[in-house]
Amino acid sequence: MGKTLFERVWDAHVVAQQPGHPALLYVDLHLIHEVTSPQAFSGLRARGLGVRRVERTLATMDHSTPTLPGGYAAADGPGAAQLRRLEENCREFGIELHGLGSSRNGIVHVIGPELGRTQPGMTVVCGDSHTSTHGAFGALAFGIGTSEVEHVLATQCLLQTRPEPYEVRIDGRLRPGVTAKDIILALIGRIGTAGGTGYVLEYTGSAIRGLDMEGRMTVCNMSIEGGARAGMIAPDDATFEYLAGREHAPRGQAWLRALERWRALPSDPDARYAKTTTIDGSALEPMITYGTNPGMAIPITAPIPSPEAAPAGTDQPTLEKALRYMGLQPGKPLLGQKIDVVFVGSCTNSRIGDLRAAASVLRGRRVAAGVRTLVVPGSQQIKRQAEAEGLDRVFREAGAEWREAGCSMCIAMNGDQLQPGQYAVSTSNRNFEGRQGPGGRTFLASPLTAAACAVTGQVTDVRTLLADGAAAPAVGRA
Amino acid sequence: MAQFITLTARAVVLAVDNVDTDQIIPARFLKVTDKAGLGGALFCDWRKDPAFVLNQPAAQGAQILVAGDNFGCGSSREHAPWALIAGGFRAVISTSFADIFHNNALKNGLLPVVVTPALHRELVAQLGREPELQLTVDLEAQQLSWPGGAATQFPIDPFARDGLLRGIDQLDYLLGHAEQIAAFEARQQA
Ligand code: SF4
């Protein structure tokens, strides 16, 4: 029997496996940020250990990182202390760091691929659940805890029990206004936040093949929101085109050898998955969440579900609690709901294509009065590219704020946050209670939808704006 | 690492499904550089509600949390088990746990105990009638029991169980494989 992509990558990284024990899995790329690493470095120090492979380790600052100019001075006391600690740790242990002020700084899951560090067939880990993003390249990439960060620093290995492969097949052509974000929200809405627990998702089908690498990263990014250990997409020409010429991508003969290896990665035709879910991509609509976990997602035109008919993975009291927190009435439409803040950013949707999509809606329009709109590029490289394309002007002229790179209001650790009771439409990945600030209420959606909501000041179906003459935003690879 | 052999303690019921780690410890408490002292941050936003279970007198001194389905989903922050431990908890009983939380908990000696939905309902009902009930989690025997109830087996990965019973750190186990790791690296370079 053939192997799946996941099985191939897993098998190639097992260092040792005793019966009844978890596997020792080798890690090719270890990404680090300021929030989940300090205790790991302290652990190393306490044991007198060093970092086994510094060249396989890459650090950035993103979570507590200010998105206003000014470097450390713009961070609050504890945030600045945490950032300085990362800088000291990287200096002491000899780890490459793209900190504040670096032209390569950015969100950890944005810069890995951008620098060509993330490559097909690799194992990639980070003390961060959205490490699943890197699976878009056919890498096995997953989040770990801080103890495991210490394990990887010291040994370049992890103890892991083997998850099962789960195929998510999405065929068909996406309709205008429907994006990668809508695909993944529809999936999690279907399987629930625990539907993928114990599995590695492999996204297949023509709708996935039709996505560019940025769209594929958006899909893989939120695999964890469906409970999956990781998400993966088989590498193809789009993957190779993206990587060719990037700073850390192989060159010359090494590139040709890499291509040969990478082309052998996709799942065999007779490979078997433990589970399969299929979604008709051509039937999807723009999606939005209404509740307090990403599984509480609906097509934007649908009514808010009532607890009596709670969807998969949600019981009645949980849904009631969520609607209470959100201040929403079951059975009512979400369309027209007034909003206070729009956030375009995060490792889900802060790449150049996302910014172009948001700008395509905002160009020549104004953000509605009373709505605060924050646009935060995922990396300094993206920021520069957006500025070269004049997107920053589009955002500013529309009345949006244009910031430095970072996680920003996705996690609200750097001062960018909602006020209690405020409603936000956010392109990030989590609508948990208080995620964007205590008492804040989040609707997750695509950059197109977020931009449309910024213009009208209420939850809006972006297709109604596309119809009235705005340039149709490019979606996917067409 | 902290050893776990057996625990007899009172339990508190948190009857909510899909509790994410942002609720267990909100992100604004993550600007720390060590593991200690996070007990005050535990469920901090939910604690603002006087009716929240952990604010009730019956919750004081409870060392077992009986949680809803898919406990610990979301962020990979190990601060979640650190905060639960600092808040006095040694075990969490649920019908299911999110992957990363489950791994993180085991590494810190916080025992995730998986029970069937039927047993979970029975336990919640029993604790509703008798909030003072003492539960016993016996890791050696992999049994959950309470006075007047039948002892039930719970599953746990044998490797993790062994580590907890003996208080062995996984990093020591990994470091013990230095030769195999070097051999793997040599093969990968070839
Ligand atoms: S953007 Fe949000 S989800 Fe992504 S790494 Fe930062 S905090 Fe985590």
- Closest residue in B to A436 (Cα) is B27
Q: Is A410 in the pocket of ligand 1 (CB under 6 A)?
A: yes
Closest residue to A154, CB basis, from B30, B96, B171: B171
Q: Do B74 and A129 touch (CB under 8 A)?
A: yes
Q: pLDDT-based confidence at B2, cuts 50/70/90?
A: confident
Domain count, chain B: 1
Distance from CA of A472 to the nearest CA of B (A): 34
Residue A308 confidence (pLDDT): 82
Residue B22 DSSP one-character state: H
* Tokens linked to B105: 């908990």
Residue A260 CA from chain centroid, whole number? 28
Distance from CA of B23 to the nearest CA of A (A): 7
Chain B CB contacts of A315 under 8 Å are 17, 69
Distance A348 CA to ligand 1 centre (A): 8
Expressed as residue numbers, the domain containing B77 is 6-189
Beta bridge partners of residue B132, listed in sequence order: none
Q: Do A82 and B32 touch (CB under 8 A)?
A: yes
Distance A430 CA to ligand 1 centre (A): 9
Pocket test for ligand 1, best of A31, A61, A63, A374 (most atoms within 8 A of CB): A63
Which residue, by CA, sits nearest to atom 2 of ligand 1? A410
Question: In whole angstroms, what is the distance from residue A184 CA to residue A207 CA?
Answer: 12
How confident is the model over A294-324, as pLDDT tens digits? 999 999 999 999 988 777 767 788 899 999 9
| Mean pLDDT of the residues in chain A | 95
Distance from CA of A231 to the nearest CA of B (A): 14
Residue pairs spanning A and B at CB distance below 8 A: 168
Which atom of ligand 1 has the smallest separation from the CA of A410?
Answer: 2
Distance A272 CA to ligand 1 centre (A): 33
SS3 letters across chain A = CCCCHHHHHHHCCEEECCCCCCEEEECCEEEECCCCCHHHHHHHHHHCCCCCCHHHEEEECCCCCCCCCCHHHHCCHHHHHHHHHHHHHHHHHCCEEECCCCCCCECHHHHHHHCCCCCCCCEEEECCHHHHHHHHHCCEEEECCHHHHHHHHHHCEEEECCCEEEEEEEECCCCCCCCHHHHHHHHHHHHCCCCCECEEEEEECHHHHCCCHHHHHHHHHHHHHHCECEEECCCCHHHHHHHCCCCCCCCHHHHHHHHHHHHCCCCCCCCCCCEEEEEEHHHCCCEEECCCCCCCEEECCCECCCHHHCCCCCCHHHHHHHHHHHCCCCCCECCCCECCEEEECCCCCCCHHHHHHHHHHHCCCCCCCCCEEEECCCEHHHHHHHHHCCHHHHHHHHCCEECCCCCHHHCCCCCCCCCCCCEEEECCCCCCCCCCCCCCEEEECCHHHHHHHHHHCECCCHHHHHHCCCCCCCCCCC
Q: pLDDT-based confidence at B111, cuts 50/70/90?
A: very high
Residue A468 confidence (pLDDT): 55
Chain B CB contacts of A64 under 8 Å are 31
Chain B CB contacts of A193 under 8 Å are 18, 70, 73
Q: Do B107 and A145 touch (CB under 8 A)?
A: yes
What lies within 8 Å, CB to CB, of A101 at 6+ separation is A71
- ipTM of the complex as predicted: 0.96
Q: Do A194 and B69 touch (CB under 8 A)?
A: yes
* Tokens linked to B71: 């406990």
Distance from CA of B43 to the nearest CA of A (A): 11
How confident is the model over A183-223, as pLDDT tens digits? 999 999 999 999 999 999 999 999 999 999 999 999 999 99
A449 in contact with chain B, both atoms CB, cutoff 8 A = no
Kind and range of the H or E element at B7? strand B6-14
Which residue, by CA, sits nearest to atom 4 of ligand 1? A347
Closest residue to B107, CB basis, from A147, A225, A229: A147
Chain B CB contacts of A406 under 8 Å are none
Q: Looking at the domain assignment, is residue B55 inside a domain?
A: yes
Residue A471 confidence (pLDDT): 46
Residue B101 confidence (pLDDT): 97
Q: Do B76 and A20 touch (CB under 8 A)?
A: no
Q: Looking at the domain assignment, is residue B1 inside a domain?
A: no
Distances (CA, A) of A269 to A4, A5, A266, B171: 9, 11, 9, 39
Q: What is the CATH number of the domain that holds B143?
A: 3.20.19.10
pTM of this prediction exceeds 0.90? yes
* Tokens linked to B127: 């604790």
Q: What number of residues does chain B have? A: 190
Q: Is A346 in the pocket of ligand 1 (CB under 6 A)?
A: yes
A307 in contact with chain B, both atoms CB, cutoff 8 A = no
Distance A219 CA to ligand 1 centre (A): 14
Q: What are phi and psi of B46, to 5 degrees?
A: -70, -30
Q: Do B170 and A151 touch (CB under 8 A)?
A: yes
Q: pLDDT-based confidence at B113, cuts 50/70/90?
A: very high
Laid out side by side, the sheet with A441-444 consists of: A401-402, A372-375, A341-344, A423-426, A441-444
Note down pLDDT in tens along chain A; length 478 residues. 899 999 999 999 999 999 989 999 999 999 999 999 999 999 999 999 999 999 999 999 999 999 999 889 899 999 999 999 999 999 999 999 999 999 999 999 999 999 999 999 999 999 999 999 999 999 999 999 999 999 999 999 999 999 999 999 999 999 999 999 999 999 999 999 999 999 999 999 999 999 999 999 999 999 999 999 999 999 999 999 999 999 999 999 999 999 999 999 999 999 999 999 999 999 999 999 999 999 999 999 999 999 887 777 677 888 999 999 999 999 999 999 999 999 999 999 999 999 999 999 999 999 999 999 999 999 999 999 999 999 999 999 999 999 999 999 999 999 999 999 999 999 999 999 999 999 999 999 999 999 999 999 999 999 999 865 444 444 443 3
Question: In whole angstroms, what is the distance from residue A454 CA to residue A445 CA?
Answer: 12
Chain A CB contacts of B32 under 8 Å are 38, 78, 82
Alpha carbons within 13 A on the beta-carbon side of A180? 35
Distances (CA, A) of B80 to A383, B39, B100: 33, 10, 11
How confident is the model over B114-151, as pLDDT tens digits? 999 999 999 999 999 999 999 999 999 999 999 988 89
Residue A467 confidence (pLDDT): 65
B-contacting residues in A 230-289 (Cβ below 8 Å): none
Which residue out of A11, A193, A292 would a mutagenesis test of the B interface target, given it has the greatest number of B Cβ atoms within 10 Å?
A193
Which residue, by CA, sits nearest to atom 6 of ligand 1? A407
Question: In whole angstroms, what is the distance from residue A171 CA to residue A162 CA?
Answer: 28
